[in-house]
Structure 1
Amino acid sequence: MLHTRYLWPVSFLLLSVLASESLVFGAEDLSGSLNAQLQQGHLAAAQADLEMRLKAEPEEAQARFGLGVVQVLSAIEKLGQEQYRFGAMSGNIRNLPVLRLRVPVNLEPDEVRYEQVRQIIADFQRRLIEAEAELAKVDLKQKFKLKLDLNTIRLDLIGSGKKEDQTTFLQLFNAVNQRGPIAALPDLSVAFDNGDVLWLRGYCHFIAAFCDMILAYDHQRLFDHVGQLIYPRHISSEPITEPLDLVGGKDQTWQFMDLITAIHLLNLPLKEPPRMESARQHLLEMIRMSRESWALIQAETDDDREWLPNPQQKGVLRIPVTREIIDGWHAVLIEMEELLEGRKLVPFWRDYASVFGGNREIPEGTRGINLKRVFAEPRDFDLILLIQGSGVRPYLERGPLSTPETWENLGRVFRGQFFGFAAWFN
């Protein structure tokens, strides 16, 4: 029988262990309350509640991750509201594969100027960077899970505040990726965990890089002549005596001609040069986040509604992820980093490709484009000169190349679905 004089230190030790565990696992699970708010589209209320909770418990990983998720969703919702206000993608162009956005059609859009469009993109990027900074505060030493049902998250892309006007997150995804695996899955209740924090941070960096690359250049002339492709009531920077269209520009033939004109006008002056290097840094951070997220994912031993599964887990998307696929993805990350750091070059197409025929074998020691210098030493962008080759001549060097064969070999690992896996894996 254990003597009472030994009982109190044992009890104290047990209580100490339980107390320390409660700091990580004992806090009330907020999944239910957060899901209820997201199902109603109450993002502002969800953010306020999470911020209040974090004032009391600033180190709580689940609440911190939840706040970052809500901030990302709020950034998407605000972008949608701004685009709806100005009638973005209201014409037939919204049916093009890359532009299938689920922003509702606005029959009475406001007028918009190019400066306003730039500000929309800059504000979207700022909100994503703020969300990423919030996610960076998550203590990854704490093991946590946040269960969210992607089927029921609702966003108010109109800004009406009415539930009947809201769009589900799943509708947004399927509108962009109509053949994606998510469309056919009824249950998308995901138990997000530590590895998913870094995955979402990586996505924030990727989109921030894309915004930087847009804002680095001046699209005013393009906007003046073909802004109607996106915004029905765009305002040109030059005085217009007669509108181009009297019927709203909805004729598909003329929209096709506008698209041809847009290609012709992709001659963009450099406006904010530092943004190109900023974009490169965001892409490098995306690569780092992806590596670190997969290190955590591969170390997991549970199997609980995983968003990104390791080979021993199933995952809610029901797509098996093998060791070969993970190794292939790490090889892709290495190749991307080598290009962004200028240690490998993009092969110069004029040395091996024919405009009207097949490609020749790339000669040994041939020239390539230093992608790092493209970002670090940006110049005006001209699509035709880029294709013709003159536009990249300042960046030509000789050195190790990232060959098409390398990417073809990597692509085989993903069974012909490289871009689908890349969009998923980040």
Structure 2
Amino acid sequence: MVRLLPLVIAWAVATPAPGAEAPPPAEKYLHEGRLADGESASLRALDAAPADDSARFGLGVIQFARAVENLGRALYEYGAEAKNTNVPFLRLPVPKNDKPSAISYRSLGRVLDTFATDLGRAEATLAAIRDDKVGLRLRLAKVSFDFTGTGADRTTLVQVLERLNGGRFEFLKKNPEFEVRFDRGDVAWLRGYCHLLSAMVNGYRAVDEEIGFEDRVRGIFPKVEPGAKKFDEQDPVGGLKVVDAPRLRRARLHLVAVCELNRETWKHVLAETDDDHEWLPNPKQTDQLGLPITKAQIDGWLAMMEQLEGLLKGERLVPSFLLAFVSNNHGAGMGLNLKTLLDDPPPDLLNEKRIREKGLEAKYLEPEKDKKALDLNAILNAARLFDGPFGFAYAARFN
């Protein structure tokens, strides 16, 4: 009996009390910052139980966290100063590096491409989830990242969010562990964010932004390699010089997925009847972040997404009255097909001088009588619903 006592004590400590929900295996790796180990362990678990969507959800979250960590490690290598920029990808607060490497236009491009690849892996994992009852309870306060790659200087998720926010969050007083139970709607939400960030990467990488790169990032990175291309005053490049047109198509398709996943997200969220540490609450649920969401906001957001989706799929046109503001020669009754423009862009995209003088190319225009036009009222209504001091925070949550 004496010999069995330590085992009994160990079992009692390790086993949750009756009615308590045991932490998912993914949480251990997220808390310890061992994301690579967590991904490997999750993959092995899914090999043994391919139908376990809770394990698949945990793997997707770990893979998303790894995408963020890998981006942070790259920014740390180049000594990024997050406080000096509002550029989304470069705002990730990483520890100070006293011996940074010199960054170049091309090396930053490789960093962003790796980030998009990592996001694609997480999205593919989450897309395979089929169980509408899937859930993943996580205590987010202790999720940590090893941005330095040394294992000695970890940054918690809360520290990242507080630095981005400029102060401590009030909701942590009521929920200090930042406990959240993610559910089926959150699967679609996280997939939507993977697509949104991937669209931004592809949009940036589709055009040549090397000229002026040194000046744009000098305050962010301590060491910047001189660019190979210099601005030629005799032959200025008008608009955006497209160097990888297929990336614009991929960006468009990512944005279409964002619109579709927004609809899927809110279908599941609005159908929920529980109230258990919600990440995205419906109007009858309690919000963990102190930003309650109204039915009007949801309806307004989805109405805007419907308009943008139609525009991105070529089912709606940019109306001619808007085009007349940028082109002196634009004729009435002809709208712009954004899908055609992004799938087969001109080499000098958004060349304002050319558009003003010569107008838009005919292959991008279609008669408005044959298709619906973009309804600006839906866009403006959504903007009104998210106006105010927390408007950006609300919009960021919706994605």
Task: Read off the aligned partner of 1:101 and give its amino acid letter.
Answer: L
Structure-2 separation of matches of 1:391 and 1:234: 39
Instruction: Confirm whether residue 40 of structure 1 aligns to residue 47 of structure 2.
Output: no
Structure-1 separation of matches of 2:340 and 2:165: 33
Instruction: Confirm whether residue 58 of structure 1 aligns to residue 50 of structure 2.
Output: yes
TM-score normalised per structure 1:
0.75
Per-residue Cα deviation, 1:257-316 (whole angstroms, up to 9, x for no partner): xxxxxxx98954211111111111111111111111211111111110011111221121
Instruction: Confirm whether residue 175 of structure 1 aligns to residue 163 of structure 2.
Output: yes
Q: How many angstroms does 1:56 deviate by?
A: 1.4
- 2:136 aligned partner: 146
Per-residue Cα deviation, 1:137-165 (whole angstroms, up to 9, x for no partner): 22224x23211122221111121211xx2
Q: Which runs of 5+ in 1 are unaligned?
A: 1-27, 241-263, 354-363
Structure-1 separation of matches of 2:89 and 2:166: 11
Q: How many angstroms does 1:330 deviate by?
A: 1.6
Instruction: Confirm whether residue 157 of structure 1 aligns to residue 147 of structure 2.
Output: yes
The verdict on how the C-alpha distance between 1:89 and 1:386 changes in structure 2, with shifts beyond 3 A counting, is farther
Per-residue Cα deviation, 1:39-86 (whole angstroms, up to 9, x for no partner): 221212222221222121111111100000000000110011011101
Q: How many angstroms does 1:368 deviate by?
A: 4.6
Structure-1 separation of matches of 2:213 and 2:387: 40
Instruction: Confirm whether residue 309 of structure 1 aligns to residue 254 of structure 2.
Output: no
Per-residue Cα deviation, 1:372-406 (whole angstroms, up to 9, x for no partner): 22311223456672798569723455525435444
Task: Read off the aligned partner of 1:213 and give its amino acid letter.
Answer: G
Task: Read off the aligned partner of 2:397 and give its amino acid letter.
Answer: W
Conserved in 2, the CA contact under 8 Å of 1:216 and 1:271?
yes
- 2:224 aligned partner: 234
- 2:5 aligned partner: none
Q: Secondary structure at the match of 1:108?
A: coil
Structure-1 separation of matches of 2:351 and 2:131: 47
Out of 131, 134, 154, the residue aligned to residue 166 of structure 1 is 154
Structure-1 separation of matches of 2:354 and 2:220: 25
Structure-2 separation of matches of 1:413 and 1:238: 46
Structure-1 separation of matches of 2:387 and 2:104: 45
Per-residue Cα deviation, 1:336-377 (whole angstroms, up to 9, x for no partner): 112212333335657359xxxxxxxxxx95665432223112
Q: Secondary structure at the match of 1:185?
A: helix
Out of 262, 275, 292, the residue aligned to residue 290 of structure 1 is 262
Structure-1 separation of matches of 2:376 and 2:155: 40
Structure-1 separation of matches of 2:80 and 2:88: 16
Structure-1 separation of matches of 2:273 and 2:139: 22
Conserved in 1, the CA contact under 8 Å of 2:242 and 2:349?
no
The verdict on how the C-alpha distance between 1:329 and 1:375 changes in structure 2, with shifts beyond 3 A counting, is same
Q: Percent identity of the aligned residues?
A: 35
Aligned CA RMSD, in angstroms, stands at: 3.4
Q: Which runs of 5+ in 2 are unaligned?
A: 1-19, 231-235
Conserved in 1, the CA contact under 8 Å of 2:116 and 2:197?
yes
- 2:14 aligned partner: none
Mapping for residues 108-127 of structure 1, pairs under 5 Å = 108-127=99-118
Mapping for residues 314-353 of structure 1, pairs under 5 Å = 314-347=286-319, 349=322, 351=324
Instruction: Confirm whether residue 210 of structure 1 aligns to residue 182 of structure 2.
Output: no
The verdict on how the C-alpha distance between 1:46 and 1:386 changes in structure 2, with shifts beyond 3 A counting, is farther
